[in-house]
Amino acid sequence: MRAVGVIVEYNPFHNGHAFHLQASREAAQADVVIAVMSGNFLQRGEPALVSKWQRTKMAILNGVDIVFELPYRYATQNAETFANGAVSILAAAGCQYLCFGSESGEIEAFQQTIHFLESQQDSHEKNIKHFMGSGVSYPKALALSYKQLSNSENYLDLSRPNNILGFHYIKAIHEQRSQITPLTVARKIADYHDEHFASETIASATSIRKALFSDINRPSEINQYVPEATRQLLHEYLNQHGLYHRWENYWPFLQLRLLHSSPEELKEIYEAEEGLENRLQHAATEAGSFQEFMERIKTKRYTWTRLQRLCVHILTNSKKIDMEGSKRAGYLRLLGMSERGQEYLNKMKKEFALPLVAKLSSFKDEEVNLDLKAARVYAMGVPGPAKKILMEQEFKQPPIIIKK
């Protein structure tokens, strides 16, 4: 069976994702679509709007056949580590293709960029260090270096979020010597970070979340931008848990961690750099909300996303020694599947390059411990009895099977 992989967060699943899924299936002429999906905390350093289990249901009801979890160690990292972890899972699961959305929409531009930078590796790394030394963030330094080296107006725009991810997906395929063939489709209308609705049917996940948070009692505002299954599952989650997850739900816990940790303890946290611990603790004593806290610690050198990821690691007490390790995942955590996905697993699982994990209680791994810790912290953002239910779900929930 021919399988195409997609790397996703579905926060939440919307019409743009439905377009990407269909385009991916068609481009690869695939029998099954396999998604590697971030767990409860995401690449931009945010808690997911709803749990990974609810987003798994969204994915399968909207056309995905198999959902594997991208472990915390990779899901909450920079683009390069995020891409390496996700690509290693797709390769282990037998995917022949990886299809991603991009602002470019031309796979040749990505391939040319990879080959060009490989030929200019020393100069490229020197340029990145130079630009970062001037105080800009790593993504900005990467884009500036490439623009300077290419000396052309026709370069791939590496300042755009999906182009950056696509670049790292293909780079990971090359470095892992994977047989996966990369494909890309152009994003439609809405940009990744758009905060406002840009058309009648397509909107970014950012704008959809903003609309949901602005008036949680009026979800109809997003109806035209998400499939019916997403609408129903969002409504169901709100009724069961009483909220959609956002950073403000976790601010008291983050503030407590910051104020009760010594500077030495904070230095051990992953992505903490020398001197940041003092800035964080000072801001935590004065800020009355997560938004205010972030505004106080933001600098030109550290992007908002980078600082949010650091906050996630502080919240989960994820240390450098925990997070630094292999660039490749160590297992395939199965979250859910369709009937077609179940057929694929039955035929192919013996050929998988990594162990298939359906029940956590029967599998031990240090990466799993990070996932468990993250799931428990995520549940702390939910009030009342729903907290215990969400916390226990990590062990009790079997892979979701949806028959159509």
pLDDT of residue 128: 85
Q: Are strands 356-357 and 400-402 parallel, antiparallel or unpaired?
A: unpaired
Asked whether residue 154 carries a pLDDT value surpassing 60, the answer given is no
Q: What pLDDT band is residue 340 in, cutting at 50, 70 and 90?
A: very high
Q: What is the mean pLDDT of the chain?
A: 90
Q: 333-364: string of b/e by CB count within 10 Å (b at 16+)?
A: bbbbbbeebbebbeeeeeeeebebbeebeeee
Give pTM, 2 decimals.
0.92
pLDDT of residue 140: 77
pLDDT tens-place string over residues 89-135: 999 999 999 999 998 888 988 888 888 888 888 888 888 888 887 87
Residues that constitute the known binding site for ATP: 7-20, 101, 162, 187
Contact between 183 and 166 under an 8 Å Cβ cutoff? The reply is no
The phi and psi torsions of 245 (rounded to 5 degrees) equal -75, 135
pLDDT of residue 46: 97
pLDDT of residue 131: 84
pLDDT of residue 348: 96
Residues that constitute the known binding site: 7-20, 101, 162, 187
- Every domain of the chain and the residues it spans: 3-103+186-245+328-402, 247-315
pLDDT tens-place string over residues 194-223: 555 556 788 889 999 998 988 765 666 788
pLDDT of residue 198: 57
Alpha carbon 403 to chain centroid, angstroms: 27
Cα–Cα distance measured from residue 87 to residue 180, given in angstroms and rounded to the nearest whole number: 9
CATH class, range 3-103+186-245+328-402: alpha beta
pLDDT tens-place string over residues 282-304: 999 999 999 999 999 998 778 89
Cα–Cα distance measured from residue 66 to residue 61, given in angstroms and rounded to the nearest whole number: 11
Highest mean pLDDT among 72-86, 113-127, 389-403: 72-86
Cα–Cα distance measured from residue 204 to residue 210, given in angstroms and rounded to the nearest whole number: 10
Asked whether residue 375 carries a pLDDT value surpassing 90, the answer given is yes
Contact between 56 and 400 under an 8 Å Cβ cutoff? The reply is yes
Return the structure tokens found at 272.
């903490």
Cα–Cα distance measured from residue 303 to residue 138, given in angstroms and rounded to the nearest whole number: 9
pLDDT tens-place string over residues 4-13: 999 999 999 9
In this structure, of 31-35, 78-82, 215-219, the range with the lowest mean pLDDT score is 215-219
- Per the model's pLDDT, the better-predicted residue between 53 and 153 turns out to be 53
Q: What pLDDT band is residue 275 in, cutting at 50, 70 and 90?
A: confident
CA angle 94, 99, 103 (to 5 degrees): 160
Q: What pLDDT band is residue 191 in, cutting at 50, 70 and 90?
A: low
Give the contacts of 156 (CB within 8 A, at least 6 positions apart). 104, 109, 110, 112, 113, 146, 163, 167
Cα–Cα distance measured from residue 101 to residue 10, given in angstroms and rounded to the nearest whole number: 13
Name the percent of the chain lying above pLDDT 90.
66
Cα–Cα distance measured from residue 243 to residue 256, given in angstroms and rounded to the nearest whole number: 22
pLDDT of residue 43: 96
pLDDT of residue 273: 84
